[in-house]
Amino acid sequence: MMHMTFYWGRRVTLLFDSWKTETWISYALTLVACFLCSAFYQYMEDRRLRFKIIASTAPNSQQLEAPLLINAHGRKMMGGLTGIGSQTAKLGGALLFGINTAMGYMLMLAVMSFNGGVFLAIVLGLSFGYLLFRSGTGVDDVRLVVDNPCACA
């Protein structure tokens, strides 16, 4: 039976017909799995956004004055990727975006089981993951917020 309102109980079918909880132990393990998947979602989102910064091709004025690397020949190397590296970085960024999107939709579908415990486990996992991985106050974090056109992130 599919619930259409929030309910509290140990019996829940989550995502697949084969993922059913009948005992308190299986329910607790399901809640732990939801919590960990939500925290991992925040970790992957942080990795994706940091990868986007590393792969950005527009060097700022600080990069022009102070190179990030000096190669073996003593030549200055600026930040950012060009050419084939840029295409590979775009492909990698798209792959990470796809993984994050799939994880986000799976978490949404889990919440749509309308079980109160699953809902709390996912919200607490997202909050814990945000605190652990994305709540820094560095310059990169400010740049991530400014560069993100999505109002919900």
Tens-digit pLDDT profile for residues 97-114: 999 999 999 999 999 999
Each residue of 52-104: pLDDT tens digit?
A: 888 775 555 554 555 555 555 555 555 555 556 678 888 888 999 999 999 99
Q: Quick check: 33 and 41 in contact, CB under 8 A?
A: no
Q: What is the pLDDT of residue 137?
A: 60
Domains of the chain: which residue ranges? 24-145
Q: Which of 124, 125, 114 is nearest to 12 (CA)?
A: 114
Kind of pairing between the strands at 69-70 and 12-13:
unpaired
The model's pLDDT over 8-28, given as tens digits with 9 standing for 90+, comes to 999 999 999 999 999 999 999
Give yes or no for residue 7 having a pLDDT over 70: yes
